Amino acid sequence: MNEAPFLIDQNGDWYYNKSKITRHSMVKLFSTILVRDEDNTFHLRTPVEDVLIEVLDAPYLIKEMYLKQKDRLPYIYFKTNVDYDFMLNKKNPLWLEKKNNSDELIPYVLVKKGLIAKLSRVVYYQLVDLLELKIIKNVSHYGVYSGKDFFFLDKPKSRNKYL
């Protein structure tokens, strides 16, 4: 198979033929046609074109987090590096993954069908400030609430559960 002309690195930076795409508007445009197929390959797809894209980790990076109150409950919202805003909820869950050869836990969130984002370190620290203890069946768990939904942040899970 030929080498993919597009690449998204582990920091969410986009490249074309090994040259970094520096125009944010171009990256945003390409991100609107990004899809993940069932064989775990990524493509930039339109009705007339299909271009393979290599993704080293996650196609998006969460750059901002903010809270909104609704019905007296705080809801967590995220904003990606391509300016896509969404609310943390059961449709867009948050989880931690253990990295190979490391005990480090990395937070990810499902952005849209088959496409995930890694939380930037700054956003992860903001999220940690919201940690709460919840006891479930006599077992203590740490996590965060977005509305009434609780997301565990004390044990790793596989992204395959969410894709």
Instruction: Looking at the structure, tell me whether residues 13 and 75 fall in a common domain.
Output: no
* Beta-sheet pairing, 85-87 with 34-36: unpaired
* Domain range for 44: 6-55
Instruction: Looking at the structure, tell me whether residues 23 and 66 fall in a common domain.
Output: no
Instruction: Looking at the structure, tell me whether residues 135 and 79 fall in a common domain.
Output: yes
CA distance linking residue 27 with residue 68, whole number of Å = 28
Residue 24's domain is classified under what CATH number? 3.10.540.10
Chain segment 30-85, per-residue pLDDT in tens: 999 999 999 999 999 999 999 999 999 999 999 999 999 999 999 999 999 999 99
Q: How many CB atoms lie within 10 A of CB 32?
A: 10
Instruction: Looking at the structure, tell me whether residues 104 and 45 fall in a common domain.
Output: no
Residue 1 domain-assigned?
no
CA distance linking residue 134 with residue 31, whole number of Å = 37
pLDDT of residue 2 exceeding 80: no
Instruction: Looking at the structure, tell me whether residues 92 and 16 fall in a common domain.
Output: no
Instruction: Looking at the structure, tell me whether residues 73 and 48 fall in a common domain.
Output: no
What per-residue confidence (pLDDT) applies to 41? 94
What's the per-residue H, E or C state across 52-83?
Answer: EEEECCCCEEEEEEEEEEECCEEEEEEEECCC
Instruction: Looking at the structure, tell me whether residues 73 and 127 fall in a common domain.
Output: yes
Instruction: Looking at the structure, tell me whether residues 30 and 87 fall in a common domain.
Output: no
Residue 131's domain is classified under what CATH number? 2.30.270.10
Chain segment 79-122, per-residue pLDDT in tens: 999 999 999 999 999 999 988 777 788 999 999 988 999 999 99
pLDDT, average across residues 11-38: 95
pTM of this structure: 0.90
Instruction: Looking at the structure, tell me whether residues 50 and 66 fall in a common domain.
Output: no
From residue 141, alpha-carbon distances to 38, 136, 153 in Å are: 33, 7, 8
CA distance linking residue 59 with residue 9, whole number of Å = 8
Structure-block tokens of residue 98: 């253990």
What per-residue confidence (pLDDT) applies to 1? 46
Instruction: Looking at the structure, tell me whether residues 91 and 146 fall in a common domain.
Output: yes
Chain segment 119-150, per-residue pLDDT in tens: 999 999 999 999 999 998 898 999 999 999 99
